Structure 1
């Protein structure tokens, strides 16, 4: 009787389960993102500009989480857009002026929301109030440098108001040169898209004879062009002592878009969304310690983007906050565990039923082997007959010995001992039948 024996069929069963789990791991791994990159690049603008300072704020947040955010200096929005559209540029994130592009022009870009206002300032000479752009017909108008964000917006709004190169003198010029153009009388009006604290804007406010246009049609422009918003500059807010502006002034403003390539790693997209929430949750102050205009805490990010689809990972973070693991663990550890969990879920899902099935697989394999020897025994018994020759009967006995030896060599666990002995007893029954037939053989 076999007692303690090794059971190769058990290892076969275990191997089948292990192979199934390994296959599940491999299939799942095809859908799991690789580890997030250690360095990503954001296209901003030149140093000491609002775009660059904003990128620096995000850079500090990334650094605190072990990721390098490299800032690439550019000439501003249109170059940023070009870099984002070029997969070989190495730029993953960019800051764009609202209104210069949309998913129609750049289908591979996704929005992280709008992160600041960029007011459009229209200064003009003269004592007669200008409240509609159509009043600028026949004037010499500074429209910003060709290819820049100011030029793009100025030309769009002027055209919508019936002001073209045929009805006015449109002068492309870099914004810092506006001061000289107004001082020397070379311009009657000028468009600027700049932050309120920009040096050029502040100097134009102080220039004698210049006035800031109040848009009587501000609501209409924001309705026609969804990337625009109406802003109200209250009386005296620029300079209370000199009462600048002298009355409440309606402005239109673009909303700065923070966009990413849709191929950006989801973990980096989520981290950027966290950076946006953190940066824009704190008040912003100018060098004098006063709160910046149009920078109220809680205003940004604006997730309703009229031009780019919001990134799914950004939407999740803005709605529910960081994932559970990223709230309590370092970024690299949280992402590692999240990726590992994706692999483990299907494995656990297979392992639980496999643990239930495995105990039944092994008995089935043992019974299958015993049934194999029973089939061999029946074949020998079925071939016995009264006409068998002595040589044939001798062969039958050798077949029975072979079956008996095969059974003895087969590892049979203790709980199958009864079937083991029953099979050997049945072999003896067939042997006795051969012994009865043998004297009758000729």
Structure 2
């Protein structure tokens, strides 16, 4: 193959490769195969939910790594720093105001604040009894910790006057049963093994929030829920009466740059996990298209409006990803590479003709000067023409340019004869 053809083809292939690379960077057709999900402490509802997400998303070929944390507040930090791709958060938390790099996939489930106690005075509504008891309010970066502190403040209790412990739910529940704690504040869904255990225990009592309506009026992000009498243990009628709780709403937060189709896949998993009936809601209530301080992502808005993306309706997830990659590769191929390869013959023809024209330009210059120059100048022309003849004879061109090549050699020979005749 002619070197010019090889060079042009190499340039075309290089530009095509660069175009495909830029297309992949701009269109981002390759979703991640692994996601990091920030969950919570051992025994928490977040941990249980995380296992469900890992199992569900694995069916679509996406691996989920569970990242344990202190709870919703630490999850927010992990998402902000990029250490997690998705994570369980609580709606309405003020620290979320500056989370500009995050988006919401919507509300997923209720997250009540449960207060279990062995303190009879507290059960009778005497909040001052908390000053002389041992209380666990959860890890420092958990929602139960911040909610408990706010609750104490609203009721005129200084945390400096309280004997507080920041224990994880499992440890706190064990110590409550062993009498090492008097009261336990815990925030979480009823799916939590710890909450299920405490709710059915005969040794602890669930505290009723008598003024739940007042709290909800003051803090609209809260929801009043009721735990039915006997739901913990029907035979023993635990709890012994309907009990009012205050609940937050848990949401899924994601990095705003997470691939759109991955967000849709996570939402599909969320629908399978959270649409089931719960102690506090009927089937199909969650997930919900709700946003507060962290706004809904565009993918979430589209999912709630129209359901699964068209690609995921028609194709399995791995095939849909492959299809997106092919589309991304096809755009530069069709828009750049194909026209470029179509232009190759024209470019090659121009280069070949340009080589001939350069020789003809020099040949015409010599031919016009033959009758008006000295003998020394004629000898110089003779040498130039002999070099040109040698150069053209060694020129390699495709067979289609043979006519032009032989015509050029004939013209060089004609001018060469004139120069020799002039020299005598």
With structure 1 as the length reference, what TM-score do the two structures score?
0.70
| Equivalent in 340, 345, 351 of residue 331 of structure 2 | 345
2:223 alignment counterpart? 230
Shift of 1:33: 7.7
Offset from partner CA, 1:290-316 (integer Å, 9 cap, x none): xx2223333322343323344555555
Most deviating of 230-239 and 193-202: 230-239
| Equivalent in 137, 156, 164 of residue 145 of structure 1 | 137
Taking the TM superposition and a 5 Å limit, the aligned residue runs for 1:270-285 are 270-281=264-275, 283-284=276-277
1:46 alignment counterpart? 42
SS of structure 2 residue aligned to 1:256: strand
Kept in 2, the 8 Å contact 1:122–1:212? The answer is no
2:251 alignment counterpart? 257
Most deviating of 356-365 and 254-263: 254-263
Shift of 1:213: 1.6
| Equivalent in 343, 355, 358 of residue 372 of structure 1 | 358
Most deviating of 231-240 and 298-307: 231-240
| Equivalent in 60, 63, 88 of residue 58 of structure 2 | 63
d(CA) in 2 for partners of 1:101 and 1:60?
A: 32
d(CA) in 2 for partners of 1:423 and 1:140?
A: 108
Offset from partner CA, 1:316-369 (integer Å, 9 cap, x none): 555555555544555445434534543442233211221331121111111101
Taking the TM superposition and a 5 Å limit, the aligned residue runs for 1:38-437 are 38=34, 40=36, 42-47=38-43, 49-72=44-67, 76-78=71-73, 80=75, 92-99=85-92, 102-104=95-97, 109-120=102-113, 140=130, 144-145=136-137, 147=140, 148-159=142-153, 161=154, 163-165=156-158, 172=164, 176=173, 193-195=187-189, 198-199=195-196, 200-201=198-199, 211-223=208-220, 228-231=221-224, 233=226, 252-260=246-254, 269-281=263-275, 283-284=276-277, 292-311=278-297, 314=300, 317-318=303-304, 321-389=307-375, 392-413=377-398, 416=401, 419-420=404-405, 422-431=407-416, 433-434=418-419, 437=422
Structure with more of its chain in helix, by fraction: 2
SS of structure 2 residue aligned to 1:403: helix
CA RMSD in angstroms comes to: 4.7
1:17 alignment counterpart? 12
d(CA) in 1 for partners of 2:311 and 2:344?
A: 34
Offset from partner CA, 1:172-229 (integer Å, 9 cap, x none): 4677477899xx9x88xx8653445734345599969x75525233552343xxxx24
Shift of 1:434: 3.2
Q: 1:51 to 1:8 in 2, by over 3 A?
A: closer
Q: What are structure 1's unaligned runs of at least 5 residues? A: 1-5, 131-135, 285-291
Kept in 2, the 8 Å contact 1:215–1:252? The answer is yes
Shift of 1:436: 5.8
d(CA) in 1 for partners of 2:14 and 2:80?
A: 44
d(CA) in 1 for partners of 2:161 and 2:4?
A: 92
Offset from partner CA, 1:103-148 (integer Å, 9 cap, x none): 346666543332110123579979x998xxxxx7756478752634
Kept in 2, the 8 Å contact 1:41–1:71? The answer is yes
SS of structure 2 residue aligned to 1:213: coil
SS of structure 2 residue aligned to 1:216: helix
Aligned length: 404
Shift of 1:20: 1.8
2:32 alignment counterpart? 36
Offset from partner CA, 1:221-268 (integer Å, 9 cap, x none): 343xxxx24345498795999898978x87542011333456767765
SS of structure 1 residue aligned to 2:328: helix
Kept in 2, the 8 Å contact 1:111–1:311? The answer is yes
Q: 1:360 to 1:245 in 2, by over 3 A?
A: farther
Q: What are structure 2's unaligned runs of at least 5 residues? A: none
With structure 2 as the length reference, what TM-score do the two structures score?
0.72
1:287 alignment counterpart? none
Most deviating of 401-410 and 169-178: 169-178
d(CA) in 1 for partners of 2:5 and 2:350?
A: 10
